[in-house]
Structure 1
Amino acid sequence: MKLDVLALDGVFDTGLSTVLDVFTTANELAAMLQLDVPPFQATVVGVRKRVRTAQGLAVPIARAVGTAPADWLVVPALGCKMPETLEPALSRADVRDACTALRASSESARLAAACIGTFVLAEAGLLDHHKATTTWWLATMFRQRYPAVQLEDSRMLVSSGHRVTAGAALSHVDMALWLVRQVSPELATLVARYLIVDSRPSQSAYVISDHLSHSDPLVERFERWARGRLADGFSLDEAALAAGASKRTLARRMQQVLGKSPLSYVQDLRVERAVHLLKTSDKSLEQIAGMVGYADGVTLRTLLRQRLGRGVREMRLEA
């Protein structure tokens, strides 16, 4: 498999290195174990001859992006973690040139991106009308900037057509392992074991809900009101009154900012609170269920497993 890995100025060091390390490890293990798997030929490409990482390290660019055939064109993240640095980065000349090159290459190569790299694909218009995921704490910005993308930001990996996107930061590992798995599931499992990487299908266990809500005043007011009433039943009428908006406006704004309904967000807050109590208190699951608005521990246990998946393995979910 031929893979072009696009390095833009200020590329996220860990993302770029992780992607390359996964492919190198796959090649080493395939040779050592004499697996009948074609090698992964990963080439670092760019739109400028000189590129430095976010930490200031020089990146050797083998050739310009799109100048040779590749099976996959992989876009690691830029080292921008917040909107105030990401917005100007997306307007840079080299990023615009990269978007042009990506559009031209999308006719022949499949596309993969992780973390902030998903913004570059979206900026090029290559995720329009496709399902995708992105960095969880920038999901609000992504949703507002690229409304044509069908964002599923709770997921760690999303495959749609000839595109695959991955969530935050170390999801670069998940993305690279997914690419290895397309060639050999056995080899991907071996690489994951050697690198000690667990399966992480969801980002939900890592999301800090109030961080997301603070991007919009109306949503923040609703979040403050909801946090103070997690043990009570949910009323959309009361929520809208407390937030100072109509029910329709509140629901629309929640969908625009967080991609979910007011009730779904309250459930997220309840899960977040329950997880905190499970980790930091000696209260039973039944007691915690009552504290976060559920009638019994069975309902809470089911919700925790649905929303957090394997991330609940170390919690006290005994009956």
Structure 2
Amino acid sequence: MRIYVLALDEVFDTGLSTVLDTFSIANDLAGSAGTPSIHFEITVVGVRRRVHTSQGLSVPVVSAAQLAQPDVVLIPALGAKMPDTLQAALERRDVADAGELLRQWSDGGALVSAACTGTFVLANTSLLDGQSATTSWWLAPLFRECFPHVTLQESRMVVGSSRFVTAGAALAHIDLALWLIRRSSPALAAVTARYLVIDPRSSQAIFMIPDHLMHTDPLIERFEQWARHRLTEGFSLNAAASAAGTSERTLARRLKTILGKTPLSYFQDLRVERAVHLLRTSNDSIDLIAAQVGYANGVTLRTLLRRRIGRSVSELRGY
């Protein structure tokens, strides 16, 4: 399988290295996994002759003009991690040139994939319009603002289809590489994951910090401040809207547009965040913690934790 790793200038060091190392390990293990015929031909491609990582290391690249049509293209993250620096990076000429290449390769039948902030580079081409995708969880509001025609599922670690694959933040580069390996051989992906000492991760939800979501909307900030002081109380949309200084309809619309959630869903996210913190930092019983975050009993909280973040109480406490 011919895979091009498209490295733009100031590429995220860990993302690029992780992708290359994961495929290298898979190639080394192919024989022992019973798949000797599988080989991933990895080429680091650039749209400029010189590419540097965000830490200033020089990356040897092959010019895209010299290459044939790939089977798979993978875009590692840019080093820009926050909205202002990321938006500036997306305006660069090399990013625009990369977009032209991605459209060309996609039209030729290549599977196009991206991780972390690399998903912004892919979405910037409009190729993801009408598709589902994921991205770095803290940049979900910015992604929705920039790419309203993409259905964002930021709680998922990897979102894939026959044409496009996107992965979540930072070390989700490993999950993306393993997803691509799994397409050729589930057995090889499984043994590679074991050598990397990594469990399959279907969700980013356990890592999300609701108040770190990158938005600057004062209405949502007022709602969040109100909600955090009322986690033990029942949720009232009318009271929430009144505290935020707006109507129920406007509050619901703004949360849906920016965070992709209803007010009640975001309220429950804040309860889950608090419950996870208490489970990890105290010896309180699950029933006591449930009461501290507004639920009648531990059974309800256990169910919510499993549904929202895919973890049990014992897993969260490290038993």
TM-score (norm 1): 0.96
RMSD of the TM alignment (CA)? 1.6
Distance 1:111 1:271, change over 3 A: same
1:168 aligned residue: 169
2:49 aligned residue: 49
1:307 aligned residue: 308
Distance 1:311 1:200, change over 3 A: farther
Distance 1:283 1:34, change over 3 A: closer
Contact 2:142–2:214 at 8 Å: present in 1 too?
no
Alpha-carbon distance between aligned partners in 1 of 2:249 and 2:66, rounded to the nearest angstrom: 47
2:85 aligned residue: 85
Alpha-carbon distance between aligned partners in 2 of 1:66 and 1:241, rounded to the nearest angstrom: 61
Question: How far did residue 311 of structure 1 move?
Answer: 7.1
- SS of 1:39's partner is coil
Contact 2:130–2:150 at 8 Å: present in 1 too?
yes
Alpha-carbon distance between aligned partners in 1 of 2:249 and 2:172, rounded to the nearest angstrom: 35
1:4 aligned residue: 4
- SS of 1:112's partner is strand
Contact 1:231–1:294 at 8 Å: present in 2 too?
yes
Question: How far did residue 310 of structure 1 move?
Answer: 3.8
Question: How far did residue 211 of structure 1 move?
Answer: 1.4
- SS of 2:31's partner is helix
Gaps of 5+ in 1: none
Alpha-carbon distance between aligned partners in 1 of 2:143 and 2:215, rounded to the nearest angstrom: 15
- SS of 2:310's partner is helix
Gaps of 5+ in 2: none
Contact 1:213–1:220 at 8 Å: present in 2 too?
no
Over residues 58-115 of structure 1, what are the superposed CA-to-partner deviations in whole Å (9 max), with x where a residue is unaligned?
A: 1111231683121101100000010111011000000011111111111121111000
Distance 1:136 1:294, change over 3 A: same
Paired amino acid for 2:73: L
* Residue 20 (structure 2) pairs with residue 20 (structure 1): yes
Give structure 1 regions of 4+ aligned residues with deviation exceeding 4 angstroms: none
2:260 aligned residue: 259
Question: How far did residue 245 of structure 1 move?
Answer: 0.5
Over residues 268-291 of structure 1, what are the superposed CA-to-partner deviations in whole Å (9 max), with x where a residue is unaligned?
A: 000001111111122111111111
Question: How far did residue 306 of structure 1 move?
Answer: 1.1
Over residues 248-276 of structure 1, what are the superposed CA-to-partner deviations in whole Å (9 max), with x where a residue is unaligned?
A: 00001101111000000000000001111
- SS of 2:221's partner is helix
Task: Report the identity percentage.
Answer: 60
Over residues 205-263 of structure 1, what are the superposed CA-to-partner deviations in whole Å (9 max), with x where a residue is unaligned?
A: 00110112753111010000000000000000000000000000000110111100000
Aligned residues: 318
